[in-house]
Chains A and B, each alone.
Chain A
């Protein structure tokens, strides 16, 4: 028994029915993605230009083309639970070149929005929210940066909330309005205890 540990489970997984069933498709998902992204998310013809342009694809399992396919077919669940959804760098290279004039980057953004509604979001993204709430920056300035800035003749802090802290209440008001901070705190707590 000990010696076969893991094998039956692995075999079971291999033998799972992986076929696509009509029930897997939710046409409403295609519609929401289209509405939120404001691009023709249903028009992808799977040419591969996006993945071929993507800096993330060569070094990860992230395939923008696969997400486009899921958008077309309305495969809501497998889209939203796929951790790859969070590997887009939002460089917009794919959007520059898509021959169907779709903006795949915005499709990813729309999918992330829908995932967030189900509390699916990686903790590091949530920590970015916390950082913005605290400093107005997703990546706050640090001493290494300050030194570098000084070296090339810039002020130690940029002319942002780092210099004008009086704008912070406004930023917090916006984040609070959308309950972003509260939700981030709640989810981080649930995940990390």
Chain B
């Protein structure tokens, strides 16, 4: 009997409506006339005309997480007395298969109309219990969670009685809502078959290559004039010591060639509208002053456009520091970062260009690549999903005054070291002292410079790759400069990756000296410009004053400059240190709490190249799932307008942060209408409407009022 009943309910409650809905929904979007069924129902609001509520309550022990802090039998006995409750049960782990089975079975056996699970947080297990509710034959939105773990047992561990009472309250409140829950049907929207990747360092490049390889059109947006990010500034890469350019350049070339990747360099994301499946993104292409061959052709200059010859570079009279070379090499106002750039297109830095026109003449009448009057362009594209890969920059280490960066010439950063030791760098790969061009014989490396620092002037986290790159730097000087000794001042050597500890062994074996002590301060000898490194050899227990020729600071890293603005556009949060926040640090490290937006590489937190590439491939895979599925379900929490009550005042329209509301004519009256796909269910309009005409699905006024009553009146109606 019960079995039979179960199958029939399933049919009517779940399968049928969903199949019925699935088809019309798509049309509805086009017609822009949503809010059909769910809105129609609540019109007869206030007193529920539903069947008499029969709520099932399931109390979870969560092992001892919950049961250890409260008296479950007391809570259970109390739950049985709550009006509307038809069945109560408890179990060690409600989220387990047997736990979920209890819900499914009870729905059929006790003809339940609503389910309450008193356990952890909706964030953790709402989806689990919704599925169980659905499996039992009820609409999944007839489920309500009472949090008795995070907000109760964990914080009231030492107050058994208080925790028990609080759990009773939480369950009573949840039951009040569960009694009034209505069937809801998620909306399906189609997903645009295109993706966007913001930032073209190794993370963004890898993500874009993977997405395009999966057949997805990908817009790759890079703020700089060329792609490659920090990795293109590195000389060699630990622990294998392959040349960074040699392994990166092929990828850069692939990105440039791949027809499915549309590359926008010297560009940024200007505006983002929409939601998963349908992001409308405006790209700002900054005035570059130089036309690509494609752009030239579009202007009718067949065969024109920049071919990277550099004739302009030779004549430009304006000299500026080259940021790619960490300011250690000059560039012109018209420049490329380095000879291997992708794309090989010059850029005019209009902040320093004096518009003398010499470059225009040098470029000549055939190419006509230079346009001194070029303006920013705004391009609109539609994408289904997006990946942020905006990387990092160095913490301004001069703020730690004790180490003298920018005060003492021979104190440099790790990135400056990379350029100085690199054959294509400003010194042709000769590491020299900036003060006198001499080759150093003793070089100190200051690890954890500004990392693991709780003073507020520095970063509390470990920057994660500086131990390893300092080992690499030590190797590079031993290899390149005979007789030169590297001294590594460290607190811990964090060589945690595959083949990293072995690399540490190798570098010590090569002759690097390790001194376990964080550098207290550095003093410059004003005559020789040599440096005294002061610390404590904590293993010898002796203060140290070591005179060296040069100091390299393994500076902390922080999110790149424009990360904050960009993440806001996509509605992505960040943690207090600015790194972008993943949906779950362990189980969803590439996702964010904004559906359809993912994270790759260092923008989520410091990572070396192996981890960066792995995270990029993870993000690309995650971002391709909705695109391959072709449609996504949206939570049916949107607002609906009760046309009879709406006065058409339109005051809500401007309040909506997602521009989901509009005034329309209906049956000769002006009423508000919700574009459900845009509505995020925030409730701003619902709380505001003076006429009470806005019905917030799943958070309806009667439901909320019932919850408040249940709390304040202690169950008495």
Contacts and interface: CB of A to CB of B under 8 A. Distances in A.
B520 A99 contact: no
A99 B536 contact: no
A99 B541 contact: no
Consensus secondary structure, chain B interface: loop
Given A45-B491, A65-B538, 10 more contacts: A47-B448, A47-B517, A48-B538, A49-B520, A49-B535, A51-B536, A51-B538, A58-B543, A97-B402, A98-B455
A99 B458 contact: yes
A51 B543 contact: yes
Contacts of B541: 63, 66
Contact of B536 (A45, A52, A100, A101): A52
Contact of A52 (B452, B456, B491, B519): B519
Contact of B543 (A57, A97, A98): A57
Contacts, number: 66
Contact of A48 (B456, B458, B521, B535): B535
B543 A99 contact: no
A99 B455 contact: yes
A63 B538 CA distance: 10
B43 to A, nearest CB: 60
A89 to B, nearest CB: 14
Interface in A28-75: 45-54, 57-58, 63, 65-66
A48 B542 CA distance: 10
B454 A48 contact: no
Contact of A49 (B456, B536, B537): B536
A65 B518 CA distance: 12
Given A53-B534, A63-B541, A66-B541, A48 B455 contact: no
B452 A99 contact: yes
Interface of B: 402, 448, 452-456, 458, 491, 516-521, 534-538, 541, 543-545
Nearest to B538: A48
A57 B543 CA distance: 7
A65 B520 contact: no
24 contacts: A46-B538, A47-B517, A47-B518, A48-B516, A48-B517, A48-B538, A49-B520, A49-B535, A50-B520, A50-B536, A51-B543, A52-B521, A52-B536, A52-B543, A52-B544, A58-B543, A58-B545, A66-B541, A99-B448, A99-B455, A99-B458, A99-B518, A100-B454, A101-B456
Given A52-B521, A52-B543, A101 B454 contact: yes
B518 A49 contact: yes
Given A54-B543, A63-B541, A97 B536 contact: no
Contact of B520 (A45, A52, A101): A52
B545 to A, nearest CB: 8
Contacts of B536: 48-52, 57, 63, 65
Please tell me the size bucket of the interface on A: 20 to 34
The residue among A49, A50, A54, A66 with the most chain B CB atoms within 10 A of its own CB is: A49
Given A57-B536, A57-B543, A66-B541, A99 B454 contact: yes
A52 B534 contact: yes
Contact of B491 (A47, A66, A98): A47
Contacts of A58: 543, 545
Nearest to B539: A48
A66 B543 CA distance: 12
A45 to B, nearest CB: 7
A87 to B, nearest CB: 13
Contacts of A57: 536, 543
B478 to A, nearest CB: 25
Contacts of B454: 99-101
B505 to A, nearest CB: 24
Contacts of A65: 536, 538
A52 B519 CA distance: 7
Contacts of A63: 536, 541
Nearest to A52: B520
A97 B458 contact: no
Contacts of B456: 101
Nearest to B533: A52
6 smallest beta-carbon distances between A and B, as pairs: A52-B520, A48-B536, A51-B536, A47-B518, A48-B517, A52-B535
A61 to B, nearest CB: 9
Contacts of A97: 402, 520-521
A53 B520 contact: yes
A97 to B, nearest CB: 6
Contacts of B516: 48
B544 A99 contact: no
Contact of A99 (B453, B535, B537, B545): B453
Given A58-B543, A99-B458, A100-B454, A48 B534 contact: no
A13 to B, nearest CB: 20
The residue among A46, A48, A50, A65 with the most chain B CB atoms within 10 A of its own CB is: A48
Contacts of B402: 97
Contacts of A101: 454-456
Contacts of B458: 99
A53 B545 CA distance: 11
A115 to B, nearest CB: 22
Given A57-B543, A66-B541, A52 B455 contact: no
The residue among B458, B516, B521, B537 with the most chain A CB atoms within 10 A of its own CB is: B521
A46 B535 CA distance: 12
Nearest to B450: A99
B26 to A, nearest CB: 58
Given A45-B491, A47-B491, A58-B543, A52 B453 contact: no
B459 to A, nearest CB: 10
Nearest to B518: A47
Nearest to B517: A48
Contacts of A54: 543
A101 B455 CA distance: 5
Contacts of B455: 98-99, 101
A93 B468 CA distance: 30
A188 to B, nearest CB: 34
A82 to B, nearest CB: 14
A97 B456 CA distance: 12
B563 to A, nearest CB: 25
Interface string A133-154: 0000000000000000000000
A50 to B, nearest CB: 8
Contacts of B453: 99
Contacts of A48: 516-518, 520, 535-538
A47 B517 CA distance: 5
A54 to B, nearest CB: 7
A63 B543 CA distance: 9
A43 to B, nearest CB: 8
B18 to A, nearest CB: 56
The residue among B516, B519, B536 with the most chain A CB atoms within 10 A of its own CB is: B536
Nearest to A45: B491
A65 B535 CA distance: 12
The residue among B452, B456, B538, B545 with the most chain A CB atoms within 10 A of its own CB is: B538
Interface string A2-44: 0000000000000000000000000000000000000000000
A186 B537 CA distance: 42
Contacts of A99: 448, 452-455, 458, 518
